[in-house]
Amino acid sequence: MRLSAALCSYAGCPSELALAAATVGSALRQLEPSHPRLYRSICQESGAVRPHVNLFLNSDRIDELNGMDTRLQSGDILTVLPAVSGGTPCRNG
């Protein structure tokens, strides 16, 4: 798993993690006990990926593959990046 610098800074984790998992969902679930801050930064309470976070398997968005059920193979790189989604209005006016 490859993590953006912003996420590493926010969650206090290294930029790369080696995981053994059969699917994307399984890889994320492994993070919950081992790297709880990182898990909470990627996933909401429900387990869904946060709306402004994108996951890529190699160069493809997992949403365009099979989502959390996307199968992983040895050597795959799962990249976690914040979305380009700035400029949202302040909502507490």
Partner 1 sequence: MPERVILSVGTKKGLFVAEASRNRGGFDLRGPFGAGAPVDATLIDRRGAPRIYASSRNMFFGMKILVSTNLGRNFRETGSAPAFSKEDGRTLINVWALEAGAAEGELLSGVEPAALFRSRDGGDSWEMDSAISNHRHTPHWQPGGGGLCLHTIVRSENRVHLGISTGGHYLSEDGGETFDAFNQGIAAAFLPDPYPEFGQCVHKIAIHPDNPERLYIQNHGGFPEHPGIGVLRSDDRGRSWRSIAEGLPSDFGLPILVHPHDPDTVYVVPLEPMTRTCPGGAPAIWRSQEGGGSWNRLDRGLPERESYFTVLRDAIDFDRLASPALYFGTTTGQLWMGRDGGEDWNCLFHSLPPIHCLKAAVV
The residues of the shown chain that bind partner 1, judged by CB under 8 A, are: 6-7, 10-11, 37, 40-42, 44-48, 50, 52-53, 82-83, 85, 88, 90-93
Give the SS3 label for residue 90: coil
DSSP strand pairing (2-3 vs 60-61):
unpaired
Return the structure tokens found at 28: 């994320």
Q: Which is nearer to partner 1, 44 or 58 (CB)?
A: 44
Q: Which is nearer to partner 1, 37 or 71 (CB)?
A: 37
Shortest separation between residue 23's beta carbon and partner 1, angstroms: 18
Shortest separation between residue 83's beta carbon and partner 1, angstroms: 7
Shortest separation between residue 68's beta carbon and partner 1, angstroms: 15
Q: Which is nearer to partner 1, 52 or 71 (CB)?
A: 52
Measure the CA–CA gap between 21 and 35, rounded to whole angstroms: 15
Residues 6+ apart with CB under 8 A from 80: 1, 2, 3, 4, 7, 42, 53, 54, 55
